[in-house]
Amino acid sequence: MLYCRLFVHLFFPFMFAMSSYILVFFKLQDTVYLLLPRENREDGKGYEYYPVRVMLVSLWAFQTANVLKVIYDQCSVDIFFVDWERPRSETLRHKVPVSIWRTLFVANEWNELQTVRRTNVTFILFLLGWLLVGERLENAATAVPDLEDLADGHANMALRFASTTWWWCVLAFGQWLWNYFVWERFFGEPPAQSFLDLMTVAKVSVLVFDARFHGYYLHGDAPWAHADDTMDSISRHLLNEANAESIGRGLDGALPDVQTFQLWLTPAFRQAWTAVNSGAASAAAAGGGGGGAGAGRGFAPPSLVQSFFGGRGSSNALGAARATTVAAHKGRTGTMEQVGAFLRTFLTHGYADEHNLDWELRVPNVFERVSFYPPPQSVRLAGAKGKVIFQPDKPWFGGDNGWTSVTFLGHDYEFLIHEMLTFAVTDMWFRQTWLSILVVFLSHHGLRILRQVAGESNLSDRTLVDSRFLI
């Protein structure tokens, strides 16, 4: 699939540049010296435009495969929500439970964010139809060496691809300029930043693994004690932040304002993560809960992890699965509590001394940022079990953070190329602008619905949030 992506990223700009060259030097010539081959619509290798047709169809097929692979990868990520809210009262006689509604709210916002894009395709298609059909600009692709001649005629395949793709680029780039320089600065804010603000106020972090030893962490632990509070208290906390009267939202004091990180995992952490996820449900069903004294911000490390590392705690064997709704519910909620306790303890260095499982903050140099080069293995595997590397996930100019790659937001360029090629191929086959617009519209929403349905199922399975709460 990598070769399909490389093929599209190399030859789509080449096709666009060559067809644009023909469009400019043919339509803008004052004295006719350049003529185009007649498009006789005959198939076969003797057809003058056979290479153009084959290249467009090949680019569309490869980009379709690339987009489907992106959707498959995004619907296969491992994700979990970490709730940092502490019980207001925890005594032997009276223990106040922590509400789950904040986690459900963040899960629903994440579910909606999965298919958000910077480019509004419906708006682009509307403007494209108005320009090409309403203003008759589709006739600029006729084989007449005069750009101002918009009389009806047969449209040349190469000229039509160049002219329609130019309008796609102009409209998409215009949207980007409007969103980045106007809308997101004076009226709203980027969708990714809005989600970060929301999860911080809710005190819920997001951990995503998009590969076996790679992932992203979005830190959402607000610098105040409780998120389950009154409107007056939360407003007062936000006002203190605005007046720089509170500590930063960051995970580490060295970078108090950095909330998003790129993770490079170690085999030891991956083994621990697999053990927690595979065994916590059985431990919960068997009656095993978190035990031991509190570690790291008052959270108790789960006994299952202690048992895995050979530390103090009860050994939980895999028991027979109970095929009842109550047992399934108990296992699901037990797993959520165990995994949450493991992550909270790990993020607060609770396993560093006893189990040699820890993380380290490392700022990448310029070369590593430009080349996307991972930290050296000597850094990641230093010590007995190595350390998970946390690198600040900072966006480039005009772009989004790296963690948006697990949503449509981080692949807007890929989907935009697919929509351009879908329009070009449909237009080449049917020669109807409105039909091409309709096909792109249906394709766009079909992929969006596929991603929404499959992503919601994966979100429920991985985060252990019941799908009935995802609306």
Residue 313 has pLDDT above 50, yes or no: no
Of 291 and 119, more confident: 119
Mean pLDDT, residues 111-116 taken together: 94
**Which tokens sit at 283?**
């431990």
Question: So what's the pLDDT on residue 328?
Answer: 61
Distance separating alpha carbons of residues 67 and 416, to the nearest angstrom: 10
Residues spanned by the domain of 84: 2-205+409-469
Domain boundary among 385, 418, 433: 385
Is 178 in the same domain as 299?
no
Mean pLDDT, residues 357-370 taken together: 88
Question: So what's the pLDDT on residue 239?
Answer: 86
Q: Band of the pLDDT at 182, cuts 50, 70, 90?
A: very high
CB atoms within 10 A of CB 49: 19
Mean pLDDT, residues 64-74 taken together: 96
Question: So what's the pLDDT on residue 326?
Answer: 57
Of 24 and 40, more confident: 24
DSSP-derived pairing of the beta strands 387-392 and 358-361: parallel
Question: So what's the pLDDT on residue 325?
Answer: 57
Distance separating alpha carbons of residues 375 and 392, to the nearest angstrom: 13
Structurally, how many domains does the chain consist of? 2
> Which range among 71-85, 331-345, 450-464 shows the weakest confidence by mean pLDDT?
331-345
Whether the CB-CB separation of 401 and 260 falls below 8 Å is answered with: yes
Mean pLDDT, residues 148-170 taken together: 91
> Which range among 269-273, 326-330, 352-356, 467-471 shows the weakest confidence by mean pLDDT?
326-330
The string of pLDDT tens digits covering residues 314-326 is 334 334 334 445 5
Residue 69 has pLDDT above 60, yes or no: yes
Return the exposure string of 174-189: e unless at least 16 CB atoms fall within 10 Å of the residue's CB, then b. ebeeebeeeebeeeee
Mean pLDDT, residues 276-305 taken together: 47
Domain boundary among 385, 420, 444: 385
Sequence-distant (≥ 6) Cβ neighbours of residue 8 within 8 angstroms? 59, 62, 63, 66, 417
Mean pLDDT, residues 88-94 taken together: 65
Q: Band of the pLDDT at 236, cuts 50, 70, 90?
A: confident
Nearest to 288 by CA among 309, 321, 316, 320: 316
**3 state SS for the chain:** CHHHHHHHHHHHHHHHHHHHHHHHHHHCCCCCCCCCCCCCCCCCCCCCCHHHHHHHHHHHHHHHHHHHHHHHHHCCCEEEEEECCCCCCECCCCECCCCCHHHHHHHHHHHHHCCCCCCCHHHHHHHHHHHHHHCCHHHHHECCCCCCCCCCCCECHHHHHHHHHHHHHHHHHHHHHHHHHHHHHHHCCCHHHHHHHHHHHCCEEEEEEEECCEEEEECCCCCCCCCCCCHHHHHHHHHHHHCCCCCCCCCECCECCCCEEEEECCHHHHHHHHHHHHHHHHHHHCCCCCCCCCCCCCCCCCHHHHHHCCCCCCCCCCCCCCCCHHHHHHHHHHHHHHHHHHHHHHHCCCCHHHHCCEEEECCCCHHHHHHCCCCCHHHHCCCCCCEEEEEECCCCCCCCCHHHHHCHHHHHHHHHHHHHHHHHHHHHHHCCHHHHHHHHHHHHHHHHHHHHHHHHHHHHHHHCCCHHHCC
Q: Band of the pLDDT at 312, cuts 50, 70, 90?
A: very low
Q: Band of the pLDDT at 248, cuts 50, 70, 90?
A: confident
Whether the CB-CB separation of 133 and 434 falls below 8 Å is answered with: yes
Is 344 in the same domain as 415?
no
Of 293 and 245, more confident: 245
Is 380 in the same domain as 436?
no
Question: So what's the pLDDT on residue 352?
Answer: 87
Is 336 in the same domain as 438?
no
The answer to whether residue 226 sits within a structural domain is no
Question: So what's the pLDDT on residue 331?
Answer: 66
Q: Band of the pLDDT at 145, cuts 50, 70, 90?
A: confident
Percent of the chain with pLDDT over 70: 85
The answer to whether residue 246 sits within a structural domain is no
CB atoms within 10 A of CB 36: 15
Question: So what's the pLDDT on residue 246?
Answer: 77
Is 318 in the same domain as 418?
no
The string of pLDDT tens digits covering residues 423-441 is 999 999 998 999 999 999 9
Residue 416 has pLDDT above 80, yes or no: yes
The answer to whether residue 161 sits within a structural domain is yes
Q: Band of the pLDDT at 92, cuts 50, 70, 90?
A: low
Question: So what's the pLDDT on residue 279?
Answer: 63
> Which range among 6-15, 128-137, 200-209, 291-300 shows the weakest confidence by mean pLDDT?
291-300
Is 49 in the same domain as 147?
yes
Residue 288 has pLDDT above 50, yes or no: no
Is 457 in the same domain as 344?
no
Distance separating alpha carbons of residues 441 and 125, to the nearest angstrom: 8
Mean pLDDT, residues 164-173 taken together: 96
Q: Band of the pLDDT at 298, cuts 50, 70, 90?
A: very low
Is 33 in the same domain as 175?
yes
Is 306 in the same domain as 413?
no
> Which range among 18-27, 89-98, 238-247, 302-311 shows the weakest confidence by mean pLDDT?
302-311
> Which range among 71-80, 227-236, 256-265, 336-345 shows the weakest confidence by mean pLDDT?
227-236
Sequence-distant (≥ 6) Cβ neighbours of residue 172 within 8 angstroms? 119, 124, 416
Distance separating alpha carbons of residues 196 and 184, to the nearest angstrom: 15
CB atoms within 10 A of CB 420: 23
Residue 395 has pLDDT above 80, yes or no: yes
Nearest to 247 by CA among 238, 259, 256, 235: 256
Mean pLDDT, residues 108-132 taken together: 95
Distance separating alpha carbons of residues 137 and 398, to the nearest angstrom: 31
Domain boundary among 334, 350, 385: 385
Of 208 and 244, more confident: 208
Model-level pTM? 0.85
Q: Phi-psi bin for 406: left (phi > 0), alpha (psi -120 to 50), beta?
A: alpha
Is 326 in the same domain as 414?
no
> Which range among 195-199, 207-211, 463-467 shows the weakest confidence by mean pLDDT?
463-467
Q: Which position has the token pair 């709210």?
A: 105
Q: Band of the pLDDT at 366, cuts 50, 70, 90?
A: confident
Percent of the chain with pLDDT over 90: 49
The answer to whether residue 14 sits within a structural domain is yes
The answer to whether residue 413 sits within a structural domain is yes
Is 33 in the same domain as 147?
yes
The answer to whether residue 257 sits within a structural domain is no
The answer to whether residue 398 sits within a structural domain is no
The answer to whether residue 259 sits within a structural domain is no
- Packing angle of the helix pair 433-463, 121-129 (nearest 10 deg): 180
Is 436 in the same domain as 328?
no
Return the exposure string of 349-381: e unless at least 16 CB atoms fall within 10 Å of the residue's CB, then b. ebbeeebebbbbbbebeeeeeeeeebbeeeebe
Question: So what's the pLDDT on residue 93?
Answer: 64
Residue 21 has pLDDT above 60, yes or no: yes
